[in-house]
Amino acid sequence: MEAKRRTVRSLVAKLSSVVEKTRVDALCELRLMTKQEPEIRPLIADSDAVPYLAETLYSSSHDSQDNAAATLLNLSISCKDSLVSTRGVLDAISHLLSHHRSTSSPSAVQSAAATLHSLLVVDDYRPIIGSKRDIVYALVDIIRSLNSPSRSIKDALKALFGISLYPLNRGTVIHLGAVPPLFSLVVKDGRVGIVEDATAVIAQIAGCEESEEAFRKVSGIGVLVDLMDCATGTSMRTKENAVSGLLNVVRCGGERVAADVRERSGVRAMEGVADVAENGSAKGKGKAAALLKVMVLDGGGNGDVVRDRRRFEFDSLVVEASS
């Protein structure tokens, strides 16, 4: 281990070299080590490599950006505190993400967003990262841009999901314009993984008081209701996310929103919710049962659409899923 420690110290020292090739070679070696040798990550983090790696994210060289961002991502798996506690790391990540349309390498952007997602696994880091409005705005801009690669969109969505797990961040995500591009991805993007990740973020940000107005402006409740229609071929994960989103916005918006959900829900949408209540995950079943109560029990249903037989079937599912 001492030999590896000396190797790490030598490579980290080369990161400050005035010779670009020396710096690049050291970056490549550190990237490879952090990927292949997990036990080396703490040694690298403790050898003051993180400030150099963060500084390299400002480089105009795509190769340098790629290697530095990928190394930070690898370090984030085992050394999260070293990244968050090092001054300037989040600012450097923000810079890289904010220039995704111009000077930043797409693969470096993807690694930077994935690093955020890795850090956001820790509850205590969610308010810290969520307070960086420039990071949130950059992630929103990535999913908004028509030229963003699919991988960049997926990594940005995962980071936004992690940020939105902290309730006080949800209003910020909405205020910085996330709702229109999120629903645009759901409606216009046919890639299952993208739709699943977008609806996961929607489900989280639905749980704040700002969601009702923001969703109304993009007909969001109607979109979520339509996702429940089994004829759309929506995946179970997407349906569970839609159920969660509808339930959260109803809980925040009260009876006015609940009435809107009932008005928009026909038999096929209710069948979709029933499908989740019967065949979804344990958490999905519980949420679907609660949503069915909103759609059928609380409001009495729409007599022209939901016949007594159908209501009986839904009531049975509610009881079954709640037991």
Q: What DSSP string describes 42-68?
A: HHHHTTTHHHHHHHHTT-S-HHHHHHH
The conformation of residue 39, written as its DSSP 8-state character, comes to: G
Asked if the structure places residue 215 within a domain, the reply is yes
Please report whether residue 93 resides in a domain: no
Residue matched to tokens 């994960």: 237
Nearest Cα to 247, choosing from 233, 228, 266, 230?
A: 228
Residue ranges of the chain whose pLDDT lies below 50: 299-310, 312, 323
pLDDT at 227: 95
Query: For residue 264, is it within any domain?
Result: yes
Q: Are 294 and 250 in contact (CB under 8 A)?
A: yes
* pLDDT number for residue 313: 52
Query: Would you state the structure tokens that stand for residue 310, as one six-digit string?
Result: 């159908």
Two tokens at 144?
């908004």
Domain contains 51: no
Q: Give the C-alpha distances (Å, rounded to integers) separating 8 from 61, 70, 240.
A: 23, 17, 46
At 304 the pLDDT is 44
d(CA 108, CA 139): 14
Q: Does some domain include residue 294?
A: yes
Cα→Cα distances 93→25, 168, 272, Å: 22, 22, 40
Question: Tokens 């696994």, residue?
Answer: 121
At position 195, the amino acid (one-letter code) is: V
301: containing domain: 211-323
Domain count, the chain: 1
pTM comes to 0.92
Q: In this predicted model, what pLDDT tens digit does every residue of 193-216 receive, in sequence order?
A: 999 999 999 999 999 999 999 999
Written as six digits, the tokens of 147 are: 């030229």
In a domain, 270, yes or no: yes
In a domain, 253, yes or no: yes
Q: What is the DSSP letter of 99?
A: T
The rounded distance, in Å, linking the Cα atoms of 209 and 12 is 48
The H-or-E segment that residue 94 falls in is: helix 89-98
> Would 185 be classed as within a structural domain?
no
* Average pLDDT over the chain, rounded to an integer: 92
Q: Comparing C-alpha atoms, which of 38, 148, 130 is closest to residue 84?
A: 130
pLDDT at residue 2, as a whole number: 86
SS3 247: helix
Closest CA to 247 of 290, 300, 201, 282: 290
The pLDDT score that the predictor gives to residue 80 is: 98
